[in-house]
Amino acid sequence: MTASLPLPPVLLEGLRQLLGERLSTSPAVCEHHGRDESIFAPMPPAAVAFARHTDEVLAIVNLCREHRVPLVPYGAGSSLEGHTLATRGGVTLNLQQMDQLVAVHDEDQTATVQPGVTRKALNAALRDKGLFFPIDPGADATIGGMCATRASGTNAVRYGTMRENVVNLTVITPDGQLVKTARRARKSAAGYDLTRLFVGSEGTLGVVVEATVKLHPLPESILAAVCAFPSIDAAVQAVVQTIQVGVPIARCEFVDRVAIRALNGYSKTGLPEQPHLFFEFHGSEAGVREQVELVQAIAGELGGESFQWAHTPEERTRLWEARHNVYFAALQLRPGSRSVVTDVCVPISQLADCVNQTAQDLAQSGLIAPIVGHVGDGNFHVQMLVDGDSEHEVAQAEALNARLVARALAMDGTCTGEHGIGLHKQGFLLDELGEAPVALMRQIKHAMDPHNLMNPGKIFAF
Amino acid sequence: MTASLPLPPVLLEGLRQLLGERLSTSPAVCEHHGRDESIFAPMPPAAVAFARHTDEVLAIVNLCREHRVPLVPYGAGSSLEGHTLATRGGVTLNLQQMDQLVAVHDEDQTATVQPGVTRKALNAALRDKGLFFPIDPGADATIGGMCATRASGTNAVRYGTMRENVVNLTVITPDGQLVKTARRARKSAAGYDLTRLFVGSEGTLGVVVEATVKLHPLPESILAAVCAFPSIDAAVQAVVQTIQVGVPIARCEFVDRVAIRALNGYSKTGLPEQPHLFFEFHGSEAGVREQVELVQAIAGELGGESFQWAHTPEERTRLWEARHNVYFAALQLRPGSRSVVTDVCVPISQLADCVNQTAQDLAQSGLIAPIVGHVGDGNFHVQMLVDGDSEHEVAQAEALNARLVARALAMDGTCTGEHGIGLHKQGFLLDELGEAPVALMRQIKHAMDPHNLMNPGKIFAF
């Protein structure tokens, strides 16, 4: 870790006047904000500003711009591709203290929140309303961060991603404008879709200070089950057929043999060491019964074993917590290791080929590398456990990732289903889209942030 | 109508060499392309170019840019807010001959089409595949035009709008770049959401030359019915409750007493002259039965009469054709009249108030003005029939529209649910979002089209 360039004293003074104790230049705080779960060496900012109000965010954006100092918006710090690293030092803007639920409109099934509200906190606040917010990346990310990365998770196959679930955003743009992107109607044709421009822009176009998201009615009936399959191929084929016949399945997760071993160790799940699908069904009682019957028939024909049901809400919670813990569970398979995580997403017709070829490639590598995925979307992850100090292993993992991305692109898929580009996938973005679309993104970035101060160096080098 | 400024001879020559007979400067052709269903006087281009290939589109965009001549992309010409009028003359680019179905990927439930394919042609081509494309604006619009206006229609309550149903676009940008916005995966976090940037940009950011859209499995069971209600309020309350309890209704259309009268005259529907809801239910047989029971119970409690079922596919087609014909049917209520059509969309909790207050306002005006709407989305239309030669009536209709928009905005709604801004709603867009968001849209437009040549004067004056 190299220390960040010091900030201009007049900027530091301005930030101190604004924030008092909520401006930190402590090396520990700066280093904490300059590292993430990615493989990159830490890149700390020179200072961390903890904002509590939109007015403060506006003042911080203006101060940084006036002094031409980079600013990195920061939520829970749970992104995986280096999104929050302070590539050029400057100020990191921590938004976790902007954690107020602004409004819940039960009748319209929307919630308006400050950016630091986490997905779990939002759902806890909704507990008595008969509504829930479905997007669930593994970590307890903030809503602001989830907007920034276009987050997704296990429910996306039924409920969509942040792309479909953000109604409007209020953003402070790099030039210090407060932009509210839309009203609260379900749909609108009023000009450019600024909401979707900011969703997935990874903090490079502004700071989200408020978001209105869609909520969904808690289903009358919820059933969850796991099912073991004789092979990766059988499990993935079951998913493909489930999607193709149009079952409105709520969750449909693939967990391979290695990941099951990790879960059994970490979460005491006691599952047979075989490839599994984890299912959840939402609907009326009769509707869920119908879905279950269809999926059981598909699974049975492919050699799937009997469904193991999570009967109570507690068992269901345990099941999905186990699924969400795969990442940390897998790290225990090789203590002291770091993860290189992949994130391709392919058209569903290509999924079985893509997973099978990837499993073969991994088997030849000798790396411990569980495969899990939101396979109903065509999205899956490989978590390659490497010795972070071994250049050879890191290079080996990167080469596997590059081959996986090339395989997915050849199948008309994407290099990232949900994690984003960050620092790590800028080359893959060019492979995926070509020069002209990325040039257009840079054109938009340049128009909105001519001095390249807002989370610089992410998605593309300037 | 004033004739458009002539094109520079060297441009005309270049276009003629490129297109031969497919370049027209005939006054009839130019005038046809310079008028639409809006209240504006015709604004014809100086020439109309009929392209058949992407290469031709690219050449036309480049020629027009080199000569600083405006270019207006044109599909079926069915937009309602003046989108295709050639405000500054120039060339209109008719894309109707680019009408090839490029690929259908049944297993992935996507279709890739050229921009001139109409929604009905696409669905006709899908007839044997067990799949359909749900977005259905009243007119048989082209897919390219529907991308441009972020179109919607009667199925959006269940299947979403063009915002949710476009997978990727290939666009020729104003600077002559071919930009393919995304691959064919269901989701992606790969950089800015260029797809959504173009969806709804009304031809101001480029010309769509290919689109991949989502298809949906034809439901196992489809039932359609109409239900008469004693009052507007009762009908709208039935919709609000249906949405709030989470019935996954496929279509839920409000048709007021005046519109019923128009339909009875035009489509021989023979319905009682009362406010109606037109419903369609999609699902498994049991699932549809469940939905129907819930909605019948809700309707019954609000004084709704017995459901009149469309039993056969033919009856169902007749029902929805009647619904789609309201626009033309209504014009017959006052032969020779023109329509001023409104298009607000409000949060569902505000819908009953918004419709009721609007009905009162209309009643006081004395204008014939049916109300219909995609009320499951909170979206409804008033079609005010005016004598186009009467300044008083036109002003009266515009004043009613302005009051309606103000009412919707006060309820956190939008001035346009699906028709777009075009020429007509530029002031309302500012009322809705304020200066900063519209300035941001202009910033993007200026970055991508610095000479303001691509459908100039739409969404905002430059």
Inter-chain residue contact A164 with B164, CB threshold 8 Å: yes
Contacts of A191 in chain B (CB under 8 A): 200, 421, 429, 433, 437-438, 441, 459-460
* A to B CB pairs, distance under 8 Å: 276
B194: nearest CB among A190, A409, A437: A437
Q: For residue A221, give Cα distances in angstroms to A218, A280, B45, B117, B221.
A: 8, 10, 58, 42, 22
Which stretches does DSSP call E strand in B126-183?
Answer: 131-132, 166-172, 178-180
Contacts of B290 in chain A (CB under 8 A): 284, 286-287
Residue A94 near residue A49 (C-beta atoms within 8 A): yes
Find the closest chain A residue to B458 by CA distance. A191
Inter-chain residue contact A421 with B189, CB threshold 8 Å: yes
Inter-chain residue contact A184 with B413, CB threshold 8 Å: yes
What is the pLDDT at residue A37?
Answer: 80
Answer whether residue B257 shows pLDDT above 80: yes
Tell which phi-psi region holds residue B202, choosing left (phi > 0), alpha (psi between -120 and 50) or beta.
left
Q: How far is CA A307 from the centre of its chain?
A: 29
Rg (CA), chain B: 22
Among the CATH numbers 3.40.50.2300, 3.30.70.1400, 3.30.43.10, 3.20.20.140, which is that of B9-94?
3.30.43.10
pLDDT, tens digit (0-9, with 9 covering 90-100), for A314-362? 999 999 999 999 999 999 999 999 999 999 999 999 999 999 999 999 9
Residue A226 near residue A280 (C-beta atoms within 8 A): no
Contacts of B177 in chain A (CB under 8 A): 436, 439-440
The answer to whether the Cα torsion of B260, B265, B267, B271 is positive or negative is positive
Torsion of CA A126, A132, A135, A140, to 10 degrees: 30
Among the CATH numbers 3.30.465.10, 2.60.120.1600, 1.10.287.130, 3.30.470.20, which is that of B101-217?
3.30.465.10
Residue B1 near residue B42 (C-beta atoms within 8 A): yes
Token pair listed for A183: 């009203």
3-state class of A376 per DSSP?
A: helix
Find the closest chain B residue to A174 by CA distance. B440
Q: What are the sequence ranges of the domains in chain B?
A: 9-94, 101-217, 221-410, 425-462
What is the pLDDT at residue A3?
Answer: 56
Mean pLDDT, 10 residues at a time, over chain A (462 residues)? Answer: 78 98 97 90 96 98 98 96 96 98 96 98 96 95 98 96 98 98 98 98 98 96 96 94 92 96 93 96 94 97 95 92 92 94 96 96 95 96 95 96 98 98 97 98 98 97 80
Q: Which residues pair with B103 in a beta bridge?
A: B112
A421: nearest CB among B186, B191, B409: B191
Inter-chain residue contact A193 with B192, CB threshold 8 Å: no
Chain A nearest C-alpha distance from B455 (Å): 14
pTM of the model: 0.97
Inter-chain residue contact A347 with B446, CB threshold 8 Å: no
Which of A192, A194, A252 should be substituted to probe chain B, the one whose Cβ sees the most B Cβ atoms within 10 Å? A192
The answer to whether the Cα torsion of B192, B194, B196, B198 is positive or negative is positive
What is the pLDDT at residue B39?
Answer: 81
Contacts of A189 in chain B (CB under 8 A): 149-152, 200, 343, 414, 416-421
Tokens 């360039």 -> residue? A5
CA–CA distance, A68 with B158 (Å, rounded to integer): 47
Q: Which amino acid is at A370?
A: P
Residue B316 near residue B224 (C-beta atoms within 8 A): yes
Residue A191 near residue B441 (C-beta atoms within 8 A): yes
Inter-chain residue contact A178 with B436, CB threshold 8 Å: yes
CA–CA distance, B150 with A185 (Å, rounded to integer): 15
Chain B nearest C-alpha distance from A182 (Å): 7
B349: nearest CB among A108, A183, A246: A108
The CATH code of domain B221-410 reads 3.40.462.10
Q: For residue B316, give Cα distances in angstroms to B248, B282, B299, B309, B319.
A: 19, 13, 20, 9, 5
* Cβ contacts of A366 within 8 Å, gap of 6 or more: none
CA–CA distance, B339 with B322 (Å, rounded to integer): 18
Find the closest chain A residue to B201 by CA distance. A192
CA–CA distance, A292 with B431 (Å, rounded to integer): 49
What is the pLDDT at residue B1?
Answer: 46
Using DSSP bridges, classify how beta strands B221-228 and B178-180 pair: parallel, antiparallel or unpaired: unpaired
Answer whether residue B3 shows pLDDT above 80: no
What is the pLDDT at residue B4?
Answer: 67
What is the pLDDT at residue A431?
Answer: 98
CA–CA distance, A126 with A106 (Å, rounded to integer): 9
pLDDT, tens digit (0-9, with 9 covering 90-100), for B136-195? 998 999 999 999 999 999 999 999 999 999 999 999 999 999 999 999 999 999 999 999
End-to-end CA distance of chain A: 23
Inter-chain residue contact B177 with A436, CB threshold 8 Å: yes
Q: Which amino acid is at B206?
A: G
Find the closest chain B residue to A427 by CA distance. B190
Nearest to A155 by CA among A66, A202, A218, A209: A218
A334-363 in b/e form (b: 16+ CB < 10 A) is: eeebbbbbbbbbbbbbbbbebbeebbebbe
Inter-chain residue contact B189 with A348, CB threshold 8 Å: no
B193: nearest CB among A152, A199, A429: A199
Among the CATH numbers 3.40.605.10, 3.40.462.10, 3.40.50.300, 3.40.470.10, which is that of A222-410?
3.40.462.10
Prediction ipTM score: 0.97
pLDDT, tens digit (0-9, with 9 covering 90-100), for B52-76? 999 999 999 999 999 999 999 999 9
Token pair listed for A134: 């479905």
Which of A440, A442, A444 should be substituted to probe chain B, the one whose Cβ sees the most B Cβ atoms within 10 Å? A440
CB burial class (10 A; 0-12, 13-18, 19+) of residue B434?
middle
